[in-house]
């Protein structure tokens, strides 16, 4: 295993300290905890908190800042944070208007975030939660009941965060998050596995001419393995599954997220996006905004995912609202 780390047991702690050292204007770390909150606090607005296992950077700490998250909780690599960590994030980020928890649909995350919400409610904090399940690849998976929550989570951070920043109530912010969840779908693929530092070897093996279609962000199995084809053919495979959901139709407007898994060059992501744009145009679906880059990664995995979000006037306005975070800046 070749990794630019010091001690395996310290990778999350040192990563968070490095983020704070790089972006003190955005984030501060709660002492002794793997939790980042806004450096300037979050008074007078609904607070959004997300998180999960580390290894998906810049998710989730990279999205703490104006217009997106107020707090991010980092578990060990690919491991849910504990209820105590999430509770401390809630209490630190709470600005008096309530807290919305954005939870990816993984069993450990759901259980631990819900337990933390109950703990905070016992202290008089109003907490609501939403569960993201945008992955169309599989109905159930290694770590979930129901669909997995993957890169579409970034759109919930952005749009619900914008609603909170604009002064929305907790009920209004939750309603936006639920609308995004209802209209966002994702599917991914990989041409190589990731290596978890504590394990020291790739999480699965692919032959030189194989790809995995529909895998999860922790390397969970997808729907099938097949011989590698062109970028266009792989995009077709992913989009066919997404469009089969039946919620994207001629005349609709969508936002597109081409998300790298951590080890894929931007050149290849842009090539994938070219064909996504061509396919959607051919179906009469207008692309209102495209985002390309690494947003919900899987350590050093090579691959990408495609996310579509169906827009209405409200969602489009929130999508285009300003944001200022370490990993996402929009004037």
pTM of the model: 0.96
For residue 177, the model assigns a pLDDT of 98
Q: Percent of the chain scored above 70 by pLDDT?
A: 99
For residue 140, the model assigns a pLDDT of 72
Active site residues: 56, 218
CA distance 23 to 204: 34
CA distance 62 to 44: 22
For residue 144, the model assigns a pLDDT of 67
pLDDT tens digits, one per residue of 261-305 = 999 999 999 999 999 999 999 999 999 999 999 999 999 999 999
Could you tell me where the DSSP H helices lie in the chain?
Answer: 11-22, 83-93, 107-122, 153-165, 170-183, 231-243, 266-282, 313-319
pLDDT tens digits, one per residue of 164-190 = 999 999 999 999 999 999 999 999 999
pLDDT tens digits, one per residue of 43-89 = 899 999 999 999 999 999 999 999 999 999 999 999 999 999 999 99
| Dihedral sign (CA 282, 258, 134, 328) | negative
pLDDT tens digits, one per residue of 197-253 = 999 888 888 999 999 999 889 988 888 999 999 999 999 999 999 999 999 999 999
Assess whether pLDDT exceeds 90 at residue 119. yes
**Nearest Cα residue to 236 out of 269, 191, 187:** 187
Backbone angles phi, psi at 195, to 5 degrees: -120, 115
Instruction: Tell me the two tokens of residue 98.
Output: 């309530």
The owner of tokens 């999205």 is: 63
pLDDT tens digits, one per residue of 297-326 = 999 999 999 999 999 999 999 999 999 999
Instruction: Tell me the two tokens of residue 251.
Output: 């005349």
For residue 141, the model assigns a pLDDT of 67
CA distance 125 to 88: 12
For residue 220, the model assigns a pLDDT of 84
For residue 73, the model assigns a pLDDT of 98
pLDDT tens digits, one per residue of 94-118 = 999 999 999 999 999 999 999 999 9
- Pseudo-torsion of CA 324, 326, 328, 331, nearest 10°? 30
Instruction: Tell me the two tokens of residue 96.
Output: 């008096």
| Domain annotation for the chain: domains and CATH numbers | 8-182 (3.40.50.10440), 183-320 (3.30.1180.20)
For residue 142, the model assigns a pLDDT of 67
């Amino acid at each position: 295993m070749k990794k630019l780390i010091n001690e395996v047991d310290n990778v999350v702690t040192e990563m968070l300290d490095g983020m704070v050292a790089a972006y003190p204007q955005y984030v501060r770390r709660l002492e002794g905890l793997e939790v980042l909150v806004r450096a300037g606090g979050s008074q007078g607005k609904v607070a959004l908190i997300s998180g999960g296992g580390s290894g998906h950077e810049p998710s989730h700490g990279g999205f703490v800042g104006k217009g997106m998250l107020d707090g991010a909780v980092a578990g060990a690599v690919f491991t849910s944070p504990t209820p105590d960590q999430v509770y401390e994030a809630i209490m630190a980020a709470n600005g008096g208007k309530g807290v919305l928890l954005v939870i990816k649909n993984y069993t450990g995350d759901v259980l631990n975030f819900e337990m933390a919400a109950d703990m905070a409610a016992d202290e008089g904090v109003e907490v609501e939660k939403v569960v993201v399940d945008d992955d169309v690849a599989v109905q159930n998976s290694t770590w979930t009941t129901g669909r997995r929550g993957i890169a579409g989570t970034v759109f919930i951070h952005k749009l619900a965060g914008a609603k909170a920043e604009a002064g929305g109530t907790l009920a209004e912010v939750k309603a936006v998050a639920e609308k995004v969840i209802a209209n966002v779908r994702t599917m991914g693929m990989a041409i190589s596995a990731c290596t978890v530092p504590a394990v020291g070897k790739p999480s699965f093996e692919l032959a030189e001419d194989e790809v995995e279609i529909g895998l999860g962000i922790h390397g969970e199995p997808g729907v099938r393995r097949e011989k590698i084809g062109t970028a266009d053919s792989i995009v077709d495979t992913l989009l066919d599954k997404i469009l089969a959901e039946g919620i994207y139709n001629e005349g609709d407007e969508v936002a597109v997220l081409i998300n790298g898994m951590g080890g894929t060059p931007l050149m290849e992501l842009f090539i994938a996006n070219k064909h996504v744009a061509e396919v959607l145009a051919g179906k009469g679906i207008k692309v209102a905004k495209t985002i390309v880059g690494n947003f919900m990664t899987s350590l050093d995995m090579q691959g990408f995912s495609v996310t579509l979000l169906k827009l209405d006037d409200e969602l489009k306005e929130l999508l285009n609202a300003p944001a200022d975070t370490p990993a996402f800046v929009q004037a």
